Amino acid sequence: MSRNTKINLVLLLAVAALAVLPLVLGLGDHKEEPFTGADGEAETAITEIQPDYEPWFSPLYEPPSGEIESALFSLQAAIGAGVLAYYFGLRRGRRQGEQRALEREAATAPPGAAGESVTAKD
């Protein structure tokens, strides 16, 4: 097993542990909605500290339900992942293409063209 494979497996296990441990340990059992986003948590904290707080801005679009909001967030995450995957794939493809071109050039170059010394026989 290569070093990169081992690192990838450790990272995969760490991500799985981060996703499963809060559910197994019951970290959100004391809350009405245990795994709400940071926006909801911030709003709750602000209204507890200062009940008459008035927000400066309102959202441009308020989804009709939590499921639609979740779907839009998932779509945003998928688009971001697609852009990152495209970028890294493009970089890797260019690097592999350059490497293959150099290998092809080295294989088809005449002797002495790549800095090799050619000795004349008498």
pLDDT in tens, 91-110: 999 999 999 999 998 888 77
Nearest to 74 by CA among 37, 42, 20, 22: 37
Token code pair at residue 9: 């497996």
Judge whether residue 114 has pLDDT over 70: no
Q: Please state the rounded mean pLDDT for residues 25-48.
A: 78
Judge whether residue 8 has pLDDT over 60: yes
pLDDT computed for residue 74 by the predictor: 94
The CA distance from 85 to 74, in Å, is: 16
Give pTM, 2 decimals.
0.51
Residue with tokens 């294989």: 107
* Confidence band of 71 (pLDDT split at 50, 70, 90): very high
Average pLDDT, the chain: 85
Token code pair at residue 120: 């004349």
* Confidence band of 30 (pLDDT split at 50, 70, 90): confident
